[in-house]
Amino acid sequence: MGFQPDFAEGHEEAMEFANGQIAILEVARSFSDDNDRPKSKLEVTGRTDSSATFTFTLDEPANVYYTLDGSRPTLNSPRLAAAGMREGAQQITVDKTTEVRWFAVDIAGNTEGNRKETVKVRDVR
């Protein structure tokens, strides 16, 4: 024997589902209207005597491509990953002063210009 909800309840469930679908279309439309380049920033999050840890912050959802060897990054360069479901962006640790170069690309394909910053490590060895 199956369960059939009352029409009123079934109607409300259908409306909730439909509203979710409309919201998805609204999000897709807002992305299609997006012509702004993402803005990213390198943020040092920790230091020890022999290393520095950093990540990138963004003003909108975007992928960050970076290099740690001073070369110009491309879409084939390492991409900043999520540290986990609720942990936010990956933390990157370097053990020597490093020139970091990066750029961000948002979901609409808008590309930030190349950026670079030197992450300094105090070496006390």
- Taking only the tens place, the pLDDT of each residue in 92-117 is 999 999 999 999 999 889 999 999 99
How is the chain split among helix, strand and coil, in percent rounded to 5? 20, 35, 45
Strands (E), 1-125: 40-47, 52-58, 62-67, 82-84, 88-89, 92-94, 98-106, 115-119
Give the pLDDT confidence of 52-77 residue by residue, as tens digits. 999 999 999 899 999 999 999 999 99
Please provide the average confidence, as pLDDT, over all residues in the chain: 86
pLDDT at 33: 78
Position with higher pLDDT, 6 vs 63:
63
Amino acid at 103: F
- Dist. CA 24–CA 19, nearest whole Å: 9
CATH assignment of 40-119, among 1.10.287, 3.30.360, 2.60.40, 3.40.50: 2.60.40
Query: For the chain, which residues make up each domain, given as ranges?
Result: 1-33, 40-119
Task: Output the pLDDT for position 29.
Answer: 73
